[in-house]
Amino acid sequence: MSEQFEPVIVGFLCNWCSYRAADLAGTARIKYAPNMRPIRVMCTARIEPQFVLKALREGADGVLIAGCHPGECHYVEGNIKALRRHTLLKQMLRQFGVEEERVQIVWASASEGRMLAEAVDRMTEQVRALGPLRWKQTVLSGNGSVELAAAGHQEEVTLPEAEEV
Amino acid sequence: MSDKPKLAMYWASSCGGCEISVLNIGDKILIVDSVFDLAFFPCIADFKVADVRGYPDGYIDVCLFNGAIRNSENEEMAHLLRQKSKVLVAYGSCAYEGCIPALSNLTTAEATFKAVYHDNPSIDNPDGVRPQLVSQVPEGELTLPKFYNTVKSLDQVVPVDYYLPGCPPEPPQIWAVLEAVVAALTEGAELPPAGSVVGIGTVAVCDECPLEKNVKTIERFYRPYEITPEPGICLLEQGLVCMGPATVSGCGALCPQVAMGCRGCYGPLPGVDDQGAKMLSAIASVVAVGEPGEEEAELERKIAEAMETLVDPAGTFYRFSMAHSLLRRTKANGGSVQQTSS
């Protein structure tokens, strides 16, 4: 059996559109990558940048944010606020060396189960191609790690997967 | 030495401003002098590390430790002073959450060395000489501390009793903290619970900032040299990045009052994991570009254009809190610097 890397993607889906799109994809028996772990939020505007950063730090290889199309937000413009945050967050993550494909925002209305499924498929392949993120094990290892540092003086670890950005 | 309580202050990776800030408490420094004996304070008195090593454990009653942990010497001193101190205070933003030194977590140790010893326009280093961990000289062997890839806060290497934020902390806050310590030592008053952030307010800087706020939104950001802000009006509403919404009060909002946006040196509000992410969140409500009815691609383009006027978001939002941020450093992992060969 080939050991294919299966990315962990945390999906934040808005209650009114994208979570229902995921429901629809399920009831319509649309087959798509099982890599996304959906979390329902009331609106994409509820997704604080802290949630995304925490997901990446705690082991997610990617984060997918899915909400209503602009103009169709249940709370009028929550998704536009989310887009503003996402745009700035993307710029900031570039400085942290996190590839753009790892954090994405997509719009999927309650009737667009297929579209959501395709977005998850597409993103899974993109993140698979990038490889695992493993923030704690790679980026925070060596003298960057609180956990290791607490145990006393640590020599720097030469990482097997040190990446240049 | 007398039997007065012992005070120490040490600088790790810092600028020295914290030492000066202690003197900023004015004539109250005389009270500090009358209550404490200095046990270690390299900035103002001649003590050696060997003196500290000679003290029994817990000999120092209060140690104000400022500066981040940049190299192995900083870390060694942190361990030593922890062992010798009853109360260890992370004094100032560097020791508390990394501050300016920790901004180099956005690059690698190797890149820092390259800039400092090779690429800087003012550097003349034709032989490519770099500091070495060990060098042989006629007189014997010389050693230097190891330069780390990641800058850490004090609490990331040793347990810390109190945090006193600020770059540097403001005199009234310093005095309030010292006064509490003096009261505890002389009258047996109770100290705040260990792990507390002391010398801060309870609200955001915006709350104590007197500038007029009109909940006005903006279309783009300006850098300080690009505009002259209108006096008396909220700077964020004029397009100047001000960290006030994401920063805890305690400083008296000094910077915005002189038309310089809050830099965020007092750190996050209680209960916040990541000051930078909170600020990023707040920005979304200030920038008003993009309407619900617009075509999606156009909307994305407009928002991207507006956000790109905020140059260096990571350096702006984490100017003081990089070491305490959730991601803590860039993924570009250069490993260790070539610092070993002689």
A47 touches chain B (CB under 8 A): no
Whether B150 contacts chain A with CB within 8 A: yes
Contact present, B81 and B91 (Cβ < 8 Å): no
Element (H, E) at B54: helix B49-54
Mind telling me how many Å the CA of B17 is from chain A's nearest CA? Answer: 26
Contacts of A75 (CB under 8 A, 6+ apart): A43, A45
CATH value at residue A15: 3.40.50
Residue to test with chain B: of A44, A50, A63, most B Cβ within 10 A: A50
Res B335 pLDDT > 90: no
Measured in whole angstroms, how far is the alpha carbon of residue B152 from the centre of its chain?
Answer: 10
Choose between A161 and A113: higher pLDDT.
Answer: A113
Report residue A3's pLDDT band, with 50, 70 and 90 as the boundaries. confident
Decide if pLDDT at B342 tops 80: no
For residue range B264-300, list pLDDT tens digits in order. Answer: 999 999 999 999 999 999 987 899 898 888 899 999 9
Does A59 share its domain with A76? yes
Query: Does the beta-carbon distance from B76 to A153 stay under 8 Å?
Result: yes
Is A1 part of a structural domain of the chain? no
Based on the fold, state whether residues A30 and A50 are members of the same structural domain: yes
> Looking at beta carbons, which residues of chain A come within 8 Å of B307?
84, 87-88, 91
SS3 assignment, position B182? helix
Residues B166 and B199 sit within 8 Å (Cβ to Cβ) = yes
At A138, the pLDDT band (50, 70, 90 cuts) reads confident
> Which residues 286-315 of B are in CB contact (within 8 Å) with A?
287, 289-294, 296, 299-300, 303-304, 307-308, 310, 312-315
How do residues A6-18 score in pLDDT, each as one tens digit? 999 999 999 999 9
Share of chain A above pLDDT 70, in %: 84
| Beta-bridge partners for B9 | B64
Can you tell me the distance from the alpha carbon of A25 to that of A11, in angstroms, rounded to the nearest whole number?
A: 15
Same domain, A66 and A146: no
Task: Quote the pTM value.
Answer: 0.89
Same domain assignment for residues A99 and A157: no
A151 close contact with B: CB closer than 8 A: no
Contact (CB<8Å) A73/B294: no
Bridge partners (DSSP) of residue B248 are B204
Q: Could you tell me if A80 and A143 lie in one domain?
A: no
In a domain, A2, yes or no: no
pLDDT on residue A147:
35
Which of A88, A91, A159 is nearest residue B335 as measured by Cβ atoms?
A159
The whole-number pLDDT of residue B237 equals 94
Instruction: Write out the E strands in chain B.
Output: 6-11, 37-40, 60-66, 69-71, 85-91, 134-137, 140-143, 147-152, 162-164, 196-197
Burial degree of B184 (CB within 10 A; 0-12, 13-18, 19+)? middle
Same domain, A58 and A98: yes
Q: Chain B window 93-112: which residues touch A at a Cβ cutoff of 8 Å? A: 105-106
Q: Are residue A93 and residue A147 in the same domain, yes or no? A: no
| Coil/strand/helix, residue B296 | helix
Answer whether B202's CB lies under 8 Å from B271's CB: no
User: What was the pLDDT predicted at A143?
Assistant: 52
Residues A79 and A102 in one domain: yes
DSSP symbols for B114-128: HIIIII-TT---TT-
User: Domain count of chain A?
Assistant: 2
Domain locations in chain B as residue ranges: 6-98+153-197, 107-149, 205-324
- Asked whether residue A123 falls in the same domain as residue A159, the answer is no
Surface-to-core class of residue B210, CB atoms within 10 Å of its CB (0-12 exposed, 13-18 middle, 19+ buried): exposed
Measured between alpha carbons, how far is A65 from A73 in angstroms, rounded to an integer? 14
The answer to whether position A41 is within a domain reads: yes
Whether residues A77 and A142 fall in one domain: no
Alpha carbon of A125 to those of A9, A134, A164: distances in Å? 11, 17, 21
Residue A76 lies in a domain: yes
Residue from the list A85, A135, A149 with its beta carbon closest to the beta carbon of B281: A85
Residue B112 near residue B206, CB atoms below 8 Å: no
Query: Measured between CA atoms, how close is A28 to chain B, in angstroms?
Result: 27
CB A47 within 8 A of CB A18: no
Q: Is the pLDDT of residue A156 over 60?
A: no
Q: How many CB pairs under 8 A join A and B?
A: 156
What domain range includes position A78?
A: 9-133
Asked if ipTM goes beyond 0.95, one says no
User: How does pLDDT run across B316-327, given as a tens digit for each residue?
Assistant: 999 999 999 999
Contacts B296 to A, Cβ<8 Å:
69-70, 107
pLDDT digits (tens, 9 = 90+) for B125-165: 999 898 889 999 999 999 999 999 899 999 999 999 999 99
Tokens, residue B239: 């397009």
**A58 and chain B in contact, CB less than 8 A:** no
* H-helix or E-strand spanning residue B75: helix B72-84
CATH of B6-98+153-197, one of 3.40.50.11890, 3.40.50.700, 3.20.20.60, 3.90.1150.10: 3.40.50.700
In a domain, A53, yes or no: yes
A103 vs B192, higher pLDDT: A103
Question: Mean pLDDT over residues B4-11, rounded?
Answer: 94
> What is the DSSP track for B213-225?
-----BSS-B-TT
Q: What is the pLDDT of residue A158?
A: 36
pLDDT at B178 over 90: no
Q: Which residues of A touch B328 (CB under 8 A)?
A: 139-140, 144
Look at A22-26, B125-129, B164-168 and tell me which has the smallest mean pLDDT: B125-129
Q: Give the minimum alpha-carbon distance from A51 to chain B in angstroms, rounded to a whole number.
A: 9
Whether residue B204 has pLDDT greater than 70 = yes
> In this model, does residue B245 exceed pLDDT 70?
yes
Q: Is the pLDDT of residue B230 over 60?
A: yes
